[in-house]
Amino acid sequence: MSTIASTAQHPLAPQTVLHRRIVSLDILRGLNVAVMIFVNELAGVKGLPWWTYHAPSKIDAMTYVDMVFPGFLFILGMAIPLAIQARIKKGDNTLALLGHLALRSVALLVFGIILANGSRGNPALMYGMGQFAWGLTALLAACLVWVVYPKTEDKLRRNLYRGLRFFGFVALVVLAAIFRHNNRDGSIGWLSYDYPEILGLIGYTYFAVSLLYLVTRRWLWAPAVWFVAFTAFNVACSGHYLNVHLPWYRFPLQNGSMPCIAFAGITLTTIFFLEPRFDTFRKKAIPATIFGVLSLLAARLLSPFGISKIRATPTWCLYTIGATALLFTLLFFICDVKQHTKWAFWVRSAGSNTLLTYLLPDFWYYILGITGFTYFETHFSWGLGGISRAVVFTAFMLSVSTLLTRMKLRLQL
């Protein structure tokens, strides 16, 4: 038997792994979303240790909370090559790929802009429509556009699904047209694009990084070069050797921190799933561990440039990259090599139906805003009671996500 044939049949060979769902990646994504829901709810609780919140921008420090968003970016980067290869396998050419990337990025931007503006509207300027009602309706309309409708041969049902998607699009246009809010100076403003929330930043970064990956993907280790280049760019910006002050919608790369993290994720995917020589767990784990440890060491060496999520410093990026790379290596061994996955049942839907799970808390907050229900905030807003509230809320959101996923309700991204 030839070496090539033997490698292709190995259960951990890239040719084999890419043809099945990577369970560890779904579980890592699910864990990240679960922690994200938990810390967002915990942010409103008082009387807790400092490390349970985001570290202030004026001090050189980071907490586990500061690692949630970049961890998601890292996982997003890991998924980019896998998603593009899947599209190519289905027969997509370059133009189709670009269209898919653009539509996916637009979806994330739209959801991000809705969340950024959802609670800012002035009912007196929006024909009496309350701000929370606007946010809830806009989210529902966007979901009608991007929900995954069942495949069917029934022409009537296909037309119904097209009609629902079109109705969602028209509703978004109308809601955008009537939106008004008061600026800080008292003037009347339209939709704000200053900060498109995490989803908008992810969407813009996803598009920029995917384009760079597409252009250079024929060179297997190009993502590692991009990672080093953006790390250097981030160092230059953090050290004020370069000053980039352009808005995010003009320059999606910003100070290099977000593409640096995303390309680190693509680099780990290269190690685990694309490099044909790494056909056993040992051959994958050694370079992955080296990559993680070197990232942690580099973070320590670059600490004079500051440690801060708010300032997006290189140390913040590299600590997250190193920790996430090592965590994924461990999860891959547990979940894909040893196939122990039952323990992660509670985050599986969050990992496979991520966008819908991410949006569920916002649906909940808008509903509470409309009803004016504030019992939980006023009675469980301090100490252990607040922690219990965050734990129960996270479990509730994950349960709803599991139920909706079993009902085959998911968003198309």
Q: Give residues with Cβ within 8 angstroms of 120, minimum separation 6.
A: 131, 181, 192
**Quick one: pLDDT at residue 78?**
96
Question: Whole-angstrom Cα distance, residue 259 to residue 248?
Answer: 13
**Quick one: pLDDT at residue 301?**
96
Cβ–Cβ under 8 Å, residues 179 and 85: no
Tokens, residue 13: 């060979």
Cβ–Cβ under 8 Å, residues 196 and 116: yes
pLDDT tens for the 413 residues of the chain, in order: 333 334 445 667 665 555 567 999 999 999 999 999 999 999 989 989 999 999 988 888 999 999 999 999 999 999 999 999 888 888 888 899 999 999 999 999 999 999 999 888 889 899 889 999 999 999 999 999 999 999 888 889 999 999 999 999 999 999 999 999 888 888 888 888 888 889 999 998 999 999 999 999 999 999 999 999 999 999 999 988 888 777 766 777 888 999 999 999 999 999 999 999 998 999 999 999 999 999 999 999 999 999 999 899 999 999 999 999 999 999 999 999 999 999 999 999 999 999 999 999 999 999 999 998 887 777 888 889 899 999 999 999 999 999 999 999 998 76
**Quick one: pLDDT at residue 192?**
86
Q: What is the pTM of this model?
A: 0.90
Residue extents of the structural domains in the chain: 3-120+192-406
Q: Give residues with Cβ within 8 angstroms of 260, minimum separation 6.
A: 227, 230, 231, 233, 234, 314, 317, 321
